[in-house]
């Protein structure tokens, strides 16, 4: 891999380590520590992800039109400010406001990082986005490994750790990312779509929207692990540190499982989505009947193999669909769809659990997870015949 990809990967890992001290515990903190309902916690997380969506779109647009470096400086600086403030005051009002700022700042950061990966290593294809994905989850593994134990001592330390790692991420961006704009300009790539023939942007964007419907459905279900399922594990007596260990399992399996992933060499990214989504279904079916930590751990392990197939495939297809000079917007759009799933998942899931029960929610999730099979099959039908294999 190019040095620039390694730099992106290392910085993403550090950023996510810090974030992983906070996001897995948001619902537990508001529900158990602050005494708020699951629906209220879901509402705050909805606002957080709403801010993330706005940040995704703005960050992606700024990448396309202005400077990747300047965009990252402002977005990471905003997240750092909010994290530092939160480490001193985390009662419900400042907690909610700072989560909005962190959501916006982080939202503006991610499409820039992914668009940079695609533009500085255009020949890397799926490998570039997979590197970002692995780095992301190495951060999840390391952060989640320690967050549960730190939180069991005091939640105050969770906010301090979050701020420290955000500060390290900001320093890396400040001192090492300035040359990324020049690399991006030299490598501004031609997409597979452009190489195959002239296609109206409308066709490509329509394909992206259809694909995104299935991506939204998957993230809606996945977000329950961070909200309603998290609270459910506490209700049935699973210790907080063991719940955090589920995310450590998730992250470490993603890193350790990369040699296994190399065995899968399907030509179309569609196949990765089909197989990965089938694995998601199996994972949620097992989680529905789980009542012990070991069962949730197995369910999480299964879920992890599903996401290893699906998550890198989506930005890869988005990158291939993007017309020249629009990769930032397309990555911002696909990131905003994921954020929309994370936004609506906790509040709607929380309402279902509050007014009915967790079992009904699981049945609804299993139904929702059939949607990606349909959207993946039809998203590119409006494109020219020669692009049927655009996602190779």
pLDDT one-digit tens code per residue, 237-269: 998 788 888 988 888 898 888 888 888 888 889
Q: How far apart are CA 313 and CA 131, in angstroms?
A: 12
Q: How far apart are CA 90 and CA 51, in angstroms?
A: 19
Percent of the chain whose pLDDT exceeds 70: 92
| Dihedral Cα 69, 74, 77, 78, nearest 10 deg | -150
Angle (CA) 42-111-273 rounded to 5° is 75
**Residue 392 clears pLDDT 70, i.e. is over it:** no
* Average pLDDT score over residue span 213-240: 91
- What pLDDT digit, counting tens, does each position of 80-122 carry? 999 999 999 989 999 999 999 999 999 899 888 988 887 878 7
Q: How far apart are CA 269 and CA 388, in angstroms?
A: 11
Q: Using 50, 70 and 90 to split pLDDT, how confident is the model at 185?
A: low
Residue 391: the pLDDT is: 44
Note whether 218 and 274 are within 8 A (CB). no
Q: How far apart are CA 311 and CA 127, in angstroms?
A: 12
Residue 201: the pLDDT is: 60
C-alpha closest to that of 304 among 320, 280, 339 = 280
106-115, 136-145, 220-229, 364-373: segment of lowest average pLDDT: 136-145
SS3 content of the chain, % helix, strand, coil (to 5): 85, 0, 15
Could you tell me the two tokens for 36? Answer: 């708020």
Is the sign of the CA dihedral 89, 47, 11, 184 positive or negative? negative
Q: How far apart are CA 196 and CA 207, in angstroms?
A: 16
**Residue 139 clears pLDDT 80, i.e. is over it:** yes
What is the rounded average pLDDT for all residues in the chain? 86
Note whether 39 and 350 are within 8 A (CB). yes
Q: pTM for this one?
A: 0.76
C-alpha closest to that of 333 among 89, 115, 9, 168 = 115
Q: How far apart are CA 13 and CA 242, in angstroms?
A: 22
Note whether 5 and 117 are within 8 A (CB). yes
Note whether 300 and 249 are within 8 A (CB). yes
Q: How far apart are CA 384 and CA 203, in angstroms?
A: 9
Residue 198: the pLDDT is: 40
Angle between helices 92-120 and 38-65 (to 10 degrees): 40
Q: How far apart are CA 343 and CA 248, in angstroms?
A: 23
- 303's CB contacts (< 8 A; 6+ apart) are 222, 225, 250, 279, 280, 283, 284, 287
Determine how many CB atoms are found less than 10 A away from the CB of residue 263. 6
C-alpha closest to that of 319 among 164, 211, 180, 170 = 211
């Amino acid at each position: 891999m190019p040095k620039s990809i390694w730099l992106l990967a290392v910085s993403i890992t550090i950023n996510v380590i810090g974030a992983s001290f906070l996001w897995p515990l948001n619902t537990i903190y508001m529900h158990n520590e602050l005494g708020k309902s699951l629906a209220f916690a879901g509402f705050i997380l909805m606002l957080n992800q709403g801010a993330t969506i706005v940040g995704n779109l703005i960050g992606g647009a700024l990448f396309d039109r202005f400077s990747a470096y300047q965009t990252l400086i402002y977005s990471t600086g905003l997240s750092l400010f909010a994290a530092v403030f939160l480490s001193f005051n985390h009662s419900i009002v400042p907690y909610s406001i700072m989560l909005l700022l962190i959501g916006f700042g982080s939202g503006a950061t991610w499409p820039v990082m992914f668009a940079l990966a695609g533009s500085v290593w255009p020949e890397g294809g799926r490998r570039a986005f997979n590197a970002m994905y692995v780095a992301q989850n190495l951060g999840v593994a390391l952060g989640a490994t320690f967050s549960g134990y730190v939180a069991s001592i005091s939640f105050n330390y969770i906010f301090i750790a979050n701020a420290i790692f955000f500060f390290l991420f900001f320093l890396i961006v400040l001192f090492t990312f300035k040359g990324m704009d020049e690399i991006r300009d030299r490598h501004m790539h031609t997409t597979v779509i452009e190489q195959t023939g002239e296609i109206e942007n409308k066709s490509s964007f329509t394909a992206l929207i259809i694909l995104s419907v299935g991506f939204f459905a998957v993230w809606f279900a996945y977000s329950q692990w961070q909200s309603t399922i998290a609270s459910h594990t506490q209700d049935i007596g699973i210790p907080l540190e063991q719940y955090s260990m589920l995310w450590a399992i998730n992250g470490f399996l993603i890193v350790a499982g990369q040699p296994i992933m190399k065995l899968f060499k399907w030509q179309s990214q569609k196949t990765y989505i089909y197989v990965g989504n089938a694995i998601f279904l199996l994972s949620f079916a097992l989680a529905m009947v789980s009542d012990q930590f070991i069962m949730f751990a197995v369910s999480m392990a299964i879920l992890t193999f599903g996401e290893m197939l699906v998550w890198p495939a989506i930005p890869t297809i988005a990158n291939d669909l993007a017309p020249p000079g629009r990769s930032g917007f397309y990555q911002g759009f696909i990131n905003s769809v994921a954020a929309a799933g994370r936004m609506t998942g906790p509040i709607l899931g929380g309402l279902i659990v509050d007014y009915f029960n967790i079992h009904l929610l699981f049945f609804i999730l299993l139904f929702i997870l059939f949607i990606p099979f349909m959207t993946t099959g039809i998203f590119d039908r409006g494109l020219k015949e020669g692009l049927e294999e655009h996602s190779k």
